Amino acid sequence: MQDVQLGAVESRFADLIWQNAPLPSSELVKQAAEVLSWKKSTTYTVLKRLCEKGLFENDGGTVKVLVSRQDFYALQSQRFIEDTFQGSLPAFLAAFTARKTLSPEEVAQLRKMVADYGED
């Protein structure tokens, strides 16, 4: 559980459950559709994921809370976790990507360039 991180959207979804649990899954679907514009399948997919992470449980159609919101955020670690869906964006969307991230020296250089700008 220490390894669980929630993205902003997932958190929003989790909040829906924390705010309204226990609630029938069909009700959750309706709320997710309203607030997040999610399809039914999406709701179930994410719910299943969160259940596997031990936060909630889908007991015969009723969604129940296993770890409360306070407990969850208290147990949050600051460790960075790679997103499960790594992968560069398709070429027809993004410019050519080389995923070359900047080194600290390069970052410092660039920041200096920006900071100095306009001071001549």
Partner 1 sequence: MENVFLQLLNMSISAGYLVLAILVLRLLLQKAPKFIRCILWSFVGLRLVLPISWESILSLIPSAQTVPPKILYDKEPAIQSGIPIVNNVINPILSDSLAPDVGNSVNPMQVVIILAANIWIAGMVVMVLYAIISYLRLRYRLQEAAPLRENIWVCDRIDSPFLLGIFRPRIYLPSSLPENDASYVIAHERAHLRRKDNWWKPIGFLLLTVYWFNPLMWIAYILLCRDIELACDEKVIQDLGESSKKLYSEALINCSVPRKMISACPVAFGEEGVKGRIKSILNYKKPAFWIILLAVIVCIAVAVCFLSDPPSEQKQPSYIFDAIVLEINDDSMLVAPLEGETETATSDKFRIHLVPDDVAVGDTVRIWYDGMIQELYPAILPNVDHVAIIEFADQLANLRKLYPEYFDLSTSNGLDVYVWAFAAGSYHCGLVSGRNTAYSMEDVMDLRAASLEDMALILSTYDIPRENITIVLTQHPLSSYAFFVDEIPAHETYITWALGLSDGPKVNPPDFGGGILITHPAVIYSKSADVDHDGIMEQCTLSYGPTSGIFTFTMSIQEKGELEYFNIFYSEHLSLGLERTDNGQLLVTGTTQGEDPVHHIFTVTIQDGNIVLTEDGVALPYWGEQGVESVYAP
Which residues are at the interface with partner 1 (CB under 8 A)?
5-10, 12, 35-39, 41-42, 45-46, 78, 80-102, 106-107, 110-111, 113-115, 117-118
User: In the chain, how long is the greatest CA-to-CA distance?
Assistant: 69
Least Cβ distance, residue 86 to partner 1 (angstroms): 8
Query: Smaller CB distance to partner 1: residue 74 or 98?
Result: 98
Query: Smaller CB distance to partner 1: residue 3 or 92?
Result: 92
Query: Smaller CB distance to partner 1: residue 26 or 88?
Result: 88
